[in-house]
Amino acid sequence: MTDAAPGPLAIICGAGKFPFAVADAVIRRGRRVVLFALAGWADPEDVARYPHHWGRLAQLGRFRRLARQDGCRDVVFIGALTRPSIAKLRVDLTTLRLLPRIIAAYRGGDDHLLSGVGRIFEHLGFRLVGAHEVAPEILVPEGRLGRHAPTARDQADIAVGQALIAAMGRFDVGQAVVVAANRVIAVEAAEGTDRMLARIAELRRDGKLHVPDHCGVVVKAPKPTQDRRFDLPSVGARTVEAAAAAGLAGVAVEAKGAITADLQDLIRAADAAGLFLIGIPPAVPGSVP
Amino acid sequence: MTDAAPGPLAIICGAGKFPFAVADAVIRRGRRVVLFALAGWADPEDVARYPHHWGRLAQLGRFRRLARQDGCRDVVFIGALTRPSIAKLRVDLTTLRLLPRIIAAYRGGDDHLLSGVGRIFEHLGFRLVGAHEVAPEILVPEGRLGRHAPTARDQADIAVGQALIAAMGRFDVGQAVVVAANRVIAVEAAEGTDRMLARIAELRRDGKLHVPDHCGVVVKAPKPTQDRRFDLPSVGARTVEAAAAAGLAGVAVEAKGAITADLQDLIRAADAAGLFLIGIPPAVPGSVP
C-alpha cells in the first residue's frame, strides 16, 4: 500500500508522542519521512530514530532550504506546542520577511494562529497536510471503545457537552468540557484538558463541588471552525487517568475529530480505570439536547 | 423613604458581606429586618448586630414558624452558598414533605436549583424578592466607575466576552470569562471567579500562557436564563485584586446585572491596582462582535 506521494513527508515535530506515531504510520505505508524537530519541544531520543534535522520555530528559511534538499513537498505539523512567546523566538531572515503575516496570524485565538501558519507554509511552496490524512489510524474511531458503556445519564451529559462545544465554536475557545448530571462543571480554555480535569479533582477534594462519585463525562470535540490540518484535540492514557482522578464516569470523543497516539493503550487505560470510552458522531449543527 | 411593605424583611443569610450590606440598605430605607442566618455560612459576629435566628438550609418548617411569628412575608435569599451536599443536610419534617420538589430542583444546573428553591418558598406562603429589589444600591451602575478607562483593545475584548457569556447562556454555565487580545483564555464554571483568575496567574507564572502584561479583561454578566432574585454575579475588591494578580487590564461587569457589597471599596481597589472598572450595558441578543 504505497502512497503515490512525491518524495518524503516532512514532519515538523512538537512535543509528545504524536510525531512518532505519525512517522511510524507513514513509514508502514511505504513512504519515507524527514523529521524537522523543534528544539525545546521534540524528544531528542525519539527523534534520533528517524532521518531528521533540528530547528527552531521561527527559522523558516532554514526549514525551506533543508526540506527542498530532501525533496519534501508535503509538510505535516504535529505535536504539542505551548503558544510560544513572540519575544523568545529566534527569527531568521525568511521569517523576518514573513513577519507581518505571522503577527497578523498571532492576533486572535489558536485557530487563527494556526491557519495563518498554514498559509505561510503554502506561501513558501509547501503543501500542508493533516496528520490524520497521512496517518488515519491516529483518529479515534466511532462507537464504544472499551469494556464499559455509558449509562443513559452519561449519554445525556455527552449531548449537553457536545452542544456546548458547538455553541462556543465561533469563539475559538476550548475543545473540552465536563458535564455531570446535566450540569456543566468545567470548560477548557487556555489551561488544557489535563489541568481542567485536575481542577475538578481539586474542587471535589476541597468540598467546593458535590458530584456523586463516578458521575460526569469529559467531552472532547474539535471546534467547528478548526483547521484540522493542525490541531485536532488529542486524547491519551493520561486524559483517561485524569478523568478517573476527577471522579468522572467516562470520556467521550468526537469520532474522527480527535487523535490518539496509541488507541490500544488508551482503551487499556479506560478499562483499567473503570471508565467508558466512546467515539461519538459529530454534533448535528443547531441541534439542542 | 419608607417602603409600604407589610412587616419586616426576612433575610436568609449565606456567607460573605452581602447579607449585611442588604440589611443595612433596607434599614436605611426605614424597614425592619430579621436575619435567618445559615449555620456554617453566615458570619456570627455580623449576624449578632441584627435581630436574627440561626437555622439550617433544610429546616424549612422552622423557618416558616419563626418567620410567621416575626410577621415576615417577604424573603430575600443572599450570600454565597457552596452547593451543599444533599447527604449532609439535616432535614426537618416540612422539608421532608417538600423533598420531591427539592430533588427535582437539585437536578440540573445552578439556575434550575435556585428557581426550584424560589418556588418552594412561595409554596410555603412567602414572597421571594431579589436583594437588588429591596437594596438597589448594591447593583453595579453603568459607565466608567474608577479612574482608569478601557482602551479600544479592551473594549473589543469586553464585546467578545459578553457575546460568549450570552452564547453559553442556555447551558446554565458560568458567569465570567476572561478575554485577552481577542482570545478567550478562561471560562468560569463550578470553580468560581476567584479560582478562575488564580488559574490565569498560575498559567502565566508557569509559562503556559503568553499574554502581554496588563492585557485582558474579566467580563461578568448574569446568564440570560438567570433568576435574578437569587444569584446575580457579584464583584468585590477581591475580584479586582485577583484580576490584577492575573495581569489583566480591567474588570467589566454588566450594569444592574451584578451586585457589589461596597461600591466605593470596589472603586478604590480598582484605582489602587491600576485596573479599569466599568459597568457595561447588557448584550443585545443575537449580536456578534
Is the ipTM of this structure higher than 0.85? no
Predicted pLDDT at B15: 86
pLDDT > 90 fraction of chain A, expressed in percent and rounded: 55
Single-letter amino acid code for the residue at B70: D
pLDDT > 90 fraction of chain B, expressed in percent and rounded: 56
What are the beta bridge partners of residue B276? B250
Q: Which residue has the cell 481542567?
A: A196
Q: Please compute the mean of the pLDDT values over residues B54-58 and round it to a whole number.
A: 81
Of B110, B192, B199, the CB nearest to A191: B199
| pLDDT above 80: residue A283 | no
Residue A195 at interface with chain B, using a CB cutoff of 8 Å: yes
Of B82, B109, B183, the CB nearest to A108: B183
Predicted pLDDT at A27: 95
| pLDDT above 70: residue A162 | yes
Grid cell at residue B180: 485577552
HEC per residue, chain A: CCCCCCCCEEEEECECCHHHHHHHHHHHCCCCEEEEEECCCCCHHHHCCCCEEEECCCCHHHHHHHHHHCCCCEEEEECECCCCCHHHCCCCHHHHHCHHHHHHHHCCCHHHHHHHHHHHHHHCCCEECCHHHHCHHHECCCEECCCCCCCHHHHHHHHHHHHHHHHHHHHCCCCEEEEECCEEEEECCCCCHHHHHHHHHHHHHCCCCCCCCCCCEEEECCCCCCCCCCCCCECCHHHHHHHHHCCCCEEEEECCCCECCCHHHHHHHHHHHCCEEEEECCCCCCCCC
Q: Please compute the mean of the pLDDT values over residues A231-245 and round it to a whole number.
A: 91
Residue B54 binned pLDDT confidence (cut-offs 50, 70, 90): very high
pLDDT digits (tens, 9 = 90+) for B176-195: 999 999 999 999 999 989 99
- For residue B246, count other CB atoms closer than 10 A to its CB: 24
pLDDT digits (tens, 9 = 90+) for B196-232: 999 999 999 998 888 889 999 999 998 776 666 666 7
- Of A189, A138, A162, which Cα lies nearest the Cα of A251? A162
Q: Please compute the mean of the pLDDT values over residues B269-281 and round it to a whole number.
A: 97
- Determine how β-strand B276-280 pairs with β-strand B143-144: antiparallel
- Which residue out of A210, A218, A223, A287 would a mutagenesis test of the B interface target, given it has the greatest number of B Cβ atoms within 10 Å? A210
Q: Please compute the mean of the pLDDT values over residues B92-121 and round it to a whole number.
A: 65
- Of A265, A49, A25, which Cα lies nearest the Cα of A35? A49
Considering B83-92, B216-225, B261-270, the range whose residues carry the highest mean pLDDT is B261-270
Residue B47 binned pLDDT confidence (cut-offs 50, 70, 90): very high
What is the sign, positive or negative, of the torsion defined by CA atoms of A77, A79, A82, A84? negative
Grid cell at residue B152: 479600544
The Cα A150–Cα B65 span in angstroms is: 46
| pLDDT above 80: residue A74 | yes
Instruction: Provide the shortest C-alpha distance from residue B5 to chain A (in Å).
Output: 37
- Of A64, A66, A125, which Cα lies nearest the Cα of A94? A64
User: What is the distance of C-alpha B54 from the center of its chain?
Assistant: 22
Residues 6+ apart with CB under 8 A from B112: B105, B172
User: Which range, of B83-97, B238-252, B263-277, averages the lowest pLDDT?
Assistant: B83-97
* Higher pLDDT among residues A207 and A28, named by residue: A28
* Beta-carbon separation of B184 and A108 below 8 A: no
pLDDT digits (tens, 9 = 90+) for B5-17: 569 999 999 888 8
Cβ atoms of B17 and B262 within 8 Å: the answer is yes
Predicted pLDDT at B91: 62
Between positions 157 and 176 of B, the ones with CB within 8 A of A are 160, 163-164, 167-168, 170-174
- Which residue out of B173, B200, B202 would a mutagenesis test of the A interface target, given it has the greatest number of A Cβ atoms within 10 Å? B173
Grid cell at residue B270: 480598582
| Residues of chain A contacting B195 with CB distance shorter than 8 Å | 199, 203
Predicted pLDDT at A2: 44
Q: Which residue spans within chain B are E strands per DSSP? A: 9-13, 33-38, 52-55, 74-78, 127-128, 143-144, 176-180, 183-187, 217-220, 250-254, 276-280
The Cα B124–Cα B93 span in angstroms is: 13
| pLDDT above 60: residue B270 | yes
Give, in order, the Cα–Cα distances in Å from B90 to each of A112, A193, B56, B102. 53, 37, 7, 14
Residue B288 binned pLDDT confidence (cut-offs 50, 70, 90): very low
Predicted pLDDT at A101: 67
* Higher pLDDT among residues A4 and B52, named by residue: B52
Of B174, B177, B207, the CB nearest to A82: B207
What is the sign, positive or negative, of the torsion defined by CA atoms of A236, A238, A243, A247? positive
- Of A24, A38, A47, which Cα lies nearest the Cα of A261? A24
Residue A80 at interface with chain B, using a CB cutoff of 8 Å: no
| pLDDT above 80: residue B107 | no
Residue A209 at interface with chain B, using a CB cutoff of 8 Å: yes
* Higher pLDDT among residues A115 and B281, named by residue: B281
Residue of A nearest to B202 (CA): A191
The three-state secondary structure class of B146 is coil
What are the beta bridge partners of residue A15? A80
Cβ atoms of A209 and A173 within 8 Å: the answer is no
| Residues of chain B contacting A192 with CB distance shorter than 8 Å | 208
Predicted pLDDT at B163: 92
User: B156, exposed or middle or buried, with CB in 10 Å at 0-12, 13-18, 19+?
Assistant: middle
Predicted pLDDT at A247: 97
| pLDDT above 90: residue A110 | no
The three-state secondary structure class of B48 is coil
Q: Which residue has the cell 460526569?
A: A216
For chain A, the average pLDDT equals 85
pLDDT digits (tens, 9 = 90+) for B147-166: 999 999 999 999 999 999 98
Instruction: Provide the shortest C-alpha distance from residue B18 to chain A (in Å).
Output: 20
| Residues of chain A contacting B173 with CB distance shorter than 8 Å | 164, 184, 187
Q: What is the DSSP letter of B153?
A: H
**Torsion angle (degrees, nearest 10) of CA B204, B208, B214, B219:** -100
Cβ atoms of B36 and B11 within 8 Å: the answer is yes
* Higher pLDDT among residues A90 and B36, named by residue: B36
